[in-house]
């Protein structure tokens, strides 16, 4: 039997990701989901997902690989990379997650782009934390939300990310609370 306190989310950096950024993400995860995190690089070679024609990496292929690395006691994995990600139907994605599954991936590649008026590390870190929470929200079964201020809102561009808040709307918060109750039941947490 595992207690809730023993469950944690793995943050798996792929490539060079700043430690301060990883701590900011860890802090946000604790705030929204209540889980501690463990930083552990599960794998670093993602050349298998590289697409020559697009000069980008196929996020779905990386996700499938990630799930096979889930260590015992860890509940979910969020990989963080600096390479540009895509899924075949879209030009690029900030991240991708297995809905109700185990793993998610986030790319900081496009989120670190600066816009003329906004160019501060704090804002970039805030953007990345919002999208990290968004992807983990999907692994806890949350879908896209119409509320443009909700963290589960789907963002088409950096401006959308900057506009939304770093919180779940009331509705998504209720859904998440239910999902966490279910999760704890299945995993014998208190």
Catalytic residues: 135
Q: Which of 94, 169, 187, 105 is nearest to 139 (CA)?
A: 105
Q: How far is the CB of 61 from Zn ion (least distance, A)?
A: 18
Query: What is the token pair recorded at 27?
Result: 């802090």
> Restricting to residues 126-155, which ones interact with Zn ion according to CB under 5 A?
145, 147, 150, 152
Which residue, 105 or 124, has its beta carbon nearer to Zn ion? Answer: 105
The set of residues, in sequence order, having a beta carbon less than 8 Å from that of 40 and lying 6+ positions away, is 10, 11, 12, 71
Which residue, 55 or 67, has its beta carbon nearer to Zn ion? Answer: 67
Q: How far is the CB of 186 from Zn ion (least distance, A)?
A: 23
Which residue, 39 or 87, has its beta carbon nearer to Zn ion? Answer: 87
Spatial distance between the Cα atoms of 94 and 106, rounded to a whole number of angstroms: 6
Judged by CB under 5 A, the number of residues near Zn ion is: 6
* Alpha-carbon 17 to chain mean position: 14
Spatial distance between the Cα atoms of 166 and 48, rounded to a whole number of angstroms: 34
- What are the two backbone dihedrals, phi and then psi, of residue 56, each rounded to the nearest 5 degrees? -140, 175
Which residue, 11 or 169, has its beta carbon nearer to Zn ion? Answer: 169
169 binds Zn ion (CB under 5 A): yes
Q: How far is the CB of 147 from Zn ion (least distance, A)?
A: 5
Spatial distance between the Cα atoms of 65 and 62, rounded to a whole number of angstroms: 5
Spatial distance between the Cα atoms of 109 and 65, rounded to a whole number of angstroms: 21
Instruction: Return the residue of 9, 10, 11, 172 that touches Zn ion, per CB under 5 A.
Output: 172
Q: How far is the CB of 71 from Zn ion (least distance, A)?
A: 25
| Footprint of Zn ion (CB under 5 A) | 145, 147, 150, 152, 169, 172
């Amino acid at each position: 039997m595992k207690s809730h306190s023993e469950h944690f989310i793995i943050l798996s950096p792929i490539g060079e990701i700043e430690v301060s950024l990883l701590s900011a993400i860890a802090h946000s995860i604790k705030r929204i989901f209540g889980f501690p995190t463990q930083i552990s690089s599960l794998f670093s070679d993602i050349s298998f997902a590289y697409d020559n024609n697009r000069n980008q990496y196929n996020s779905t292929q990386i996700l499938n690989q990630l799930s096979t690395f889930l260590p015992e006691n860890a509940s979910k994995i969020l990989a963080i990379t600096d390479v540009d990600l895509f899924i075949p139907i879209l030009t690029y994605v900030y991240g991708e997650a297995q809905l109700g599954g185990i793993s998610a991936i986030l790319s900081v590649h496009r989120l670190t782009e600066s816009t003329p008026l906004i160019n501060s590390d704090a804002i970039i870190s805030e953007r990345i934390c919002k999208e990290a929470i968004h992807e983990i929200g999907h692994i806890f079964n949350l879908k896209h939300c119409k509320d443009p201020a909700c963290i589960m809102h789907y963002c088409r561009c950096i401006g959308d990310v900057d506009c939304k808040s770093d919180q779940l709307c009331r509705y998504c918060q209720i859904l998440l609370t239910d999902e966490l109750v279910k999760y704890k039941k299945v995993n014998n947490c208190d």
